[in-house]
Amino acid sequence: MIDKFKQTIKDYNLIAPRDAVLVGLSGGPDSVALIHLLHQLSSELKLLLGAVYINHGIRVEAAKIEEEFCQTLCDRLSIDLMIVREDIPDLAHRGKKGIEETARDFRYGVFDRVASEDGYDKIAVGHHADDQVETILFRILRGTGRPGLLGMPMRRDKIVRPLLNIHRREILQYLEEHTLEYCIDQTNQDLDIRRNFIRNQLLQSIRKHINPGVDSALLNLSDIMWHEEQYLEPIVDRAMKKSVSYSPGGKIELALESVCSYDKWLRRRLLRRCLAAISGTEINPNKAVVERLDTACLRKYKAISLSGKIQAVRVENKMVLFRRESSVEVCQLEAGKKVSLKGLCLNFSYRTSKLRQSDLKWIRQSRSVVLDADKVEPPLVVQRFQAGDRFRPLGMTGSKTVNGYLSDRKLHKVYRDEVPVVCDRRGIVWLVGFEIADRVKIDERTGKVIKLECTKKRTDQSSTV
C-alpha cells in the first residue's frame, strides 16, 4: 500500500520534500495508518512531522484512552503531539448548531491555528475512498448540485488527503501487516448518526439489493464531474473577475448589472462561491440560501439576512455581502514599523521628521497625513471606531461623532466599520482616509512632525474605500 500512497502524493502534488506536515490524529485505524505511512516516508522526503489530537468532550472515558494511546504512538515515532480539549456539546449549544457541525468546524479551526502558529506547510487528514463514497451518497440524498458530486478534494489550501484513493480494507490490511494497534470508536455503530446509518445500513443494503458495485459507480461519477468542472470553473473565474470586487474589510461587492446578465447556472455558481468565501468554510451553502440571494439580486432588494449571520445590502448598483462582526482590537504603532488590524487589508505606519515645505500641502481624504508631533500625546494606536466616538475635524469649531461625520460624507453605513482611527491618549487624531483632528494640525510654530501612512496590503481581495 505504501507504493499507492506515494503515487497519490506524487500525482496530486500533496506533499513536497522538506515539508512540515501536521497530522490530524484520532487514534482510529485511518489516522494511525496515515501517520505511520508518513513516518515511513519522512527520511526519504525529509519531512518534519507533528500531530494534534482533539478531545471533543463527548466520550469522556474513551477520549482519555485515546489521548494516552496517541501520546504513546507519537513518542514511539518521535513525533510531537499536541492535545486540545473542548466541550463540543456546550459549544454547539451556545452556537445554536449541531454537534457534528460544531465538532467539524472546531477541528479544522484548530488545525489551521496550529499549522499557522507552528509553521506547518500541510495538514494531513485520514479520509479514505470509503469516506468519499459515503460523502457523495450523503450529498446526493441531501440534494446537491454538480460541485457536491466531486466529494472531498485531494487538496484544499493546506489540507491534504493522501489516503483518498485507498479503501478501508487496504488500510486494515496494512495495519495488520505492520502489527499496528488502533482505537475503536464505539459511536461509529450509532445509527442515529447519519453517516453511520449510510455506512452500516444504507450502503450495505444497496450493495446487496441494487448494485454490488455502488462504490465504484459513485467514485466514477465523481471523476466524471471533476473533469467537467475543469472546463466550467474557468468560466466562473472570468465572471468573478468581471463582476466581483472586495472592500478593504473583505466585504464582497457584486456588480448587479453584470451579475444579473448571466445565465442562471453561472449566476448561481458565482453567488455560491461568494457565499462560501464570506462564511469562511469548505461547506457550500445550500440551494435555498443561494436562491434567496439570487432573487435579491434580480429584484434589487434593499437588504436581506441569510444563514450564518451573512447580510446582503444593496449599495447603489452593487449588492454587498458581509458578516457583521464586532472588533475591539487595538494595535500600538511604533515608528518605522507596519501594523495591521484583523480583517482589514491595510497597513499602518508612521515616522517622525523635521517640518518641510512639502508637509504644508493638505490633501483631503489622503492615505498619508502630517501631524504636529508636539501636539500628539503618545502612544499612538490604530483601531476601529466605536459607537459614540467623537473628534473635532480639521477647521471645525465643534466636535462631531464619527458616525455623523461619515454620514455627512455620504459613506454608506455598510462600509463605516472599515474606517479605522488613529488615536493618542486624548482621542482620535486621524479618521483614516478622511480627516485629521484640528488639535494636531501643523502651524507656524511646528518644528517636528509625525507622518502617518496607510497603505493597502498586497492581496487580490482588496479595493480602495
Confidence of residue 6 (pLDDT cuts 50, 70, 90): very high
- Identify the weakest region by mean pLDDT among 291-305, 370-384, 444-458: 444-458
Determine the pLDDT at residue 326: 64
Domain boundaries, the chain: 2-215, 247-323, 330-456
Evaluate if residue 463 carries a pLDDT over 80: no
Q: What mean pLDDT comes out for the span 287-299?
A: 94
pLDDT digits (tens, 9 = 90+) for 185-232: 887 787 888 889 999 999 999 999 999 999 999 999 999 999 999 999
The total number of residues written for the chain in this structure: 465
Q: What mean pLDDT comes out for the span 280-303?
A: 87
Determine the pLDDT at residue 417: 87
Percentages helix, strand, coil for the chain (3-state, rounded to 5) are 45, 20, 35
Q: Do 53 and 83 meet the contact criterion of CB atoms below 8 Å apart?
A: yes
Determine the pLDDT at residue 150: 93
CATH class of 2-215: alpha beta
H or E stretch at 441:
none
**Cα–Cα distance, 371 to 443 (Å, whole number):** 10
Determine the pLDDT at residue 462: 38
Q: Which three cell numbers stand for residue 458?
A: 498586497
**Cα–Cα distance, 72 to 83 (Å, whole number):** 13
Residue 368 β-bridge partners: 453
Would the CA dihedral through 366, 368, 374, 375 be positive or negative? positive
Ranges assigned E (strand) in 93-223: 122-124, 155-156, 159-160
Bigger pLDDT: 12 or 342? 12
Residue 82 β-bridge partners: 52
Residue 312 β-bridge partners: 304, 321
CATH of domain 247-323: 3.30.465.60
Q: What is the CA radius of gyration of the chain?
A: 27
**Cα–Cα distance, 320 to 415 (Å, whole number):** 10
The residue type at 411: L
Which residue has cell 453517516?
195
Determine the pLDDT at residue 444: 85
Q: Which three cell numbers stand for residue 43?
A: 527520511
Determine the pLDDT at residue 359: 58
Confidence of residue 148 (pLDDT cuts 50, 70, 90): confident
Q: What mean pLDDT comes out for the span 135-147?
A: 89
pLDDT digits (tens, 9 = 90+) for 343-393: 787 889 999 988 876 656 655 557 889 999 999 999 999 998 988 999 999
Evaluate if residue 283 carries a pLDDT over 80: no
Determine the pLDDT at residue 460: 46
Q: What mean pLDDT comes out for the span 244-250?
A: 89
Evaluate if residue 406 carries a pLDDT over 50: yes
Determine the pLDDT at residue 464: 33
Identify the burial level of 450 via C-beta atoms within 10 angstroms of its C-beta, where 0-12 means exposed, 13-18 middle and 19 or more buried: buried
Confidence of residue 341 (pLDDT cuts 50, 70, 90): confident
CB within 8 A of 247, min separation 6: which ones?
A: 253, 320, 415, 418, 462, 463, 465
Determine the pLDDT at residue 48: 97
Q: Which three cell numbers stand for residue 6?
A: 506515494
Bigger pLDDT: 417 or 51? 51
Pairing between strand 318-323 and 310-315? antiparallel
Instruction: Indicate the average pLDDT of the chain.
Output: 90
**Cα–Cα distance, 280 to 191 (Å, whole number):** 30
Ranges assigned E (strand) in 316-419: 318-323, 330-332, 346-354, 368-372, 381-384, 390-391, 400-401
Number of other CB atoms surrounding residue 429 within 10 Å: 23
Identify the burial level of 418 via C-beta atoms within 10 angstroms of its C-beta, where 0-12 means exposed, 13-18 middle and 19 or more buried: buried
Bigger pLDDT: 234 or 287? 234
Evaluate if residue 165 carries a pLDDT over 60: yes
Q: Do domains 2-215 and 247-323 have the same CATH topology?
A: no
**Cα–Cα distance, 339 to 367 (Å, whole number):** 15
Give CA separation, 315 vs 262, 299, 413, in Å: 20, 14, 10
**Cα–Cα distance, 208 to 107 (Å, whole number):** 35
